Amino acid sequence: MPSSEMPIIIEAAVSLEKASGIEVLVDGPTTSTDAESTSPGISEGSLYGPTLAGARASLDAGASIIHHHQDIDLPMDQQVAQVVRINQAILETHPHALIYPAPLLTGASHAEVHQHYPALAEAGCLTMIAVEMGRTVFAVMDETGLPSNSWVNGQTYSEAHDLVMFANKHQTPLALGIYTPSMCYWIREYAQRGLLPKGTMVKIWFGGRYKVWTDKEPTVRNALAPTIKALDAYLEALDGVDLPWLIAAQGDNVLDTPVARYALEKGGHIRVGEEDVSGTTQLRNSELVESAIELARSVGRPVVSGAEARRFLGVKERSAQMA
């Protein structure tokens, strides 16, 4: 199929959907009127209501994949319960959505950080699993402006392997986030052995100018800048790997970068959302999805969502998964 005719899948990262704009995790009051936002296990200023509203608005606008976070100030068991509740609530109104939550960042071990996946599987609302390949270091600037501090995200090879095997057990698509072209070779090994379930997508992360979850707070890019040459390097490393891929930028609005149009022209897909933009735009989640759709139309590619997107990706229907 020529890239100009290939449908586009849009992912939306929605966890910072707030009426007052960007807020870091659970700071500030919730704007939701959803009854569940005040139920037990939902903290004051919870992400629950705004995240659910942002997810539904993004799916209504044309997104197919939703990424979200939970309230990290809650006890671990309540975080797990909230993740399950968010997935269930999204699927109640958008049953064909592909949803993957963030890791439970307050967990002390790989098993704790990913304990929400078995819970989602048991509840019948596991639709996608995130694997962030490799240990990626994110800079934290000190008072002099130097990146002398840091925090680390991602999985080791053994941890990623465990998640891939869990995904195979439940025939659940993977969102394979990669921060360096070298991770493409890891993907190649699993793809060649047929160990990546149908619907799996490669997410090519670019590093933005700003620290994620802030309003234009400076940082050092945690990955290659979003340029055409950088994307070409990834595509060369992925040559021969038959998986759909999308681009995303942490700490910038990817739609404002030159690589956005180029990626769509090359047959790629795209992630947008308030979680990633770090104050570089005032557009809300659904508006960012609409902007991505406009860009897709300008290069002559259709956007698919819902059941049509699942068919395009080869993902089994939820009823079959839950049987």
Q: Is 312 helix (H, G, I), strand (E, B) or coil?
A: helix
For residue 146, give the 3-state DSSP assignment. coil
Q: What is the pLDDT of residue 291?
A: 98
Q: What is the model's pLDDT at position 255?
A: 98
DSSP conformation letters of 4-30: TTS-B-EEEE-TT--TTS---TT-S--
**pLDDT per residue of the chain (323 residues) written in tens, 0 to 9:** 666 679 999 999 999 744 333 333 333 333 344 444 445 455 567 899 999 999 999 999 999 999 999 999 999 999 999 999 999 999 999 999 999 999 998 999 999 999 999 999 999 999 999 999 888 989 999 999 999 999 888 999 999 999 999 999 999 999 999 999 999 999 999 999 999 999 999 999 999 999 988 999 999 999 999 999 999 999 999 999 999 999 999 999 999 999 999 999 999 999 999 999 999 999 999 999 999 999 999 999 999 999 999 999 999 876 544 43
pLDDT of residue 131: 97
Q: Nearest Cα to 259, choosing from 213, 223, 306?
A: 223
Sequence-ordered list of residues with C-beta below 8 angstroms from that of 271, at least 6 positions apart, any chain:
10, 11, 12, 13, 65, 67, 203, 246, 247, 248, 254
Helix pair 183-192, 157-170: axis angle to 10 deg: 40
Instruction: Report yes or no: 97 and 66 within 8 Å, Cβ to Cβ.
Output: yes
Residues 6 or more apart whose CB falls under 8 angstroms from that of 131 comprise 155, 160, 163, 164, 174, 175, 176, 177
Measured distance CA(310)–CA(304) in Å, rounded: 9
Q: What is the pLDDT of residue 213?
A: 86
Query: How large is the greatest C-alpha to C-alpha distance in the chain, in angstroms?
Result: 57
Q: Which of 35, 59, 58, 57 is nearest to 48 (CA)?
A: 35
Q: Is 57 helix (H, G, I), strand (E, B) or coil?
A: helix
What is the C-alpha separation between 86 and 67, in angstroms, rounded? Answer: 11
Instruction: Report yes or no: 201 and 246 within 8 Å, Cβ to Cβ.
Output: yes
Alpha-carbon distance of 13 to 69, in angstroms, equals 9
**Paired tokens of 7:** 């449908």
**pLDDT given for residue 31 in this prediction:** 39
Tell me how far apart the alpha carbons of residues 229 and 138 are, in angstroms, rounded to a whole number: 22
Helix ranges restricted to H, 29-75: 48-61
CA–CA distance, 295 with 306 (Å, rounded to integer) = 20
Is residue 194 within 8 Å of 203, Cβ to Cβ? no
pTM of the entire predicted model: 0.91
Residues 20/314, Cβ–Cβ less than 8 Å: no
- DSSP 8-state symbol, 182: T
Token code pair at residue 141: 């600037």
